[in-house]
Amino acid sequence: MQRKYLNQFSRIGVSDAEALKKVTDSFQTIFFDPEEKFYQDVDADSGCMVDTGNVDARTEGMSYGMMMSVQMDRKDLFDKLWQFSVRYMRLTGGPNEGYFAWSTQLDGRHNAEGPAPDGEEYFAMALFMASARWGEGEGIFAYAAQARDILRHCVHQRELRPGGSAMWHEENHLIRFVPGVDFSDPSYHLPHFYDLFAQRANEEDRAFWRAAAEASRAYIVKSAHPATGMSPEYAEYDGTPRLLFNKPFTYYSDAYRVAMNIALDGLWFGKKPDLAAVVTRLQNYFHGIPQADYRAYQIDGTLTEEPAMHPVAITAVLAAASIVSDSPYADEYLLHFWNTPLRKGKRRYYDNCLYFFCLLMLAGYYQIY
């Protein structure tokens, strides 16, 4: 593998060779370790990423696995994941036709008939990168054409399907939590993807994606708490936290991804002071709190009795934040993460997805194709 970006771990004395080995070993564990993998073959030509906590396949995990595979130059795995996604998850009728069922059983039977937009945006980005890295194939393996079709539905579903709803609000350019609702999930906001969509999507939609990138960067700042840097899991369009699913707390699992997204945006398109300030505050807040004591929080930092379901994920994203953070503790987070192994056991799927992406960017290998 050729490194494009700085090995951030060199700041704590980790060599390039050591960083690369950790990346390759972690990928091997996720996809192939007999005990700890969460990829599995389904058909001779398809496979899925298993949410080990819920024992299903989700568009989140499928598209994450595709992004991991294209970054690691594993076309074989990429194509198996994409084949499963198209064969079992793509919806072929009704108002959501063209989207993907967000959850299926491991044999492909649907648990839901609606999509989750974080899956579609990762599918599209991974497909564009596959096209750039490996070239276009035929049918579903005409990667860029497939990506453009996904994004066409994301923006134009209301016109394409009776009763359909776009995944992005047509006027404020903010991504919806799910189609048909008018609130968002701050961790869905990937302005660094939208900058690339603005270059690669259908010509008529490129101005929309430029506006979406600008709107999302502003929304990430607006929805983050001004003292702690914590982002809510779900939020109104004005950034106010919204409670869902009977959760009486606001900084929880989805929200951890915001710091990772800010870091990757900074890595690919340069550090933005207002976004860097968000993760600086976040690192300052968590300094001195051991991983074993991570909790569910209100975004103002108020603790709850609920333990963090994904403590390794918090450790990972706090380290990724060091790419752009101005906190005096930034290098401490790198060291803590370097010394943290992949999570084992039932809840390893989500933690280790975020772990791998953060490791990949900190080692300098998460790059644009």
Q: Which residues are catalytic?
A: 60, 254
Question: Which residue stretches of 179-324 are H helix?
Answer: 191-200, 206-223, 257-269, 273-286, 311-320
Place of tokens 């080692």: 363
CB environment 166-175: b (16+ within 10 A), e (fewer): bbbbeeebbb
User: Could you tell me if 187 and 233 are in contact, meaning their C-beta atoms sit under 8 angstroms apart?
Assistant: yes
Q: Write the CA distances from 129 to 84, 133, 302, 333, 345, integer angstroms.
A: 19, 6, 41, 30, 31
* Cα–Cα–Cα angle for 179, 255, 169, rounded to 5 degrees: 25
| The residue type at 279 | V
Q: Which residues pair with 110 in a beta bridge?
A: 104
Q: How many CA atoms lie within 13 A of 295 on its CB side?
A: 14
**Which residues are within 8 A (CB) of 130 and not within 5 positions of it... i.e. 6 or more apart?**
66, 70, 75, 78, 143, 369
Residue 341 CB-half CA count within 13 A: 5
d(CA 132, CA 111): 33
Task: Copy the structure tokens of residue 312.
Answer: 């390794």
Joined tokens for residue 259: 């710091």
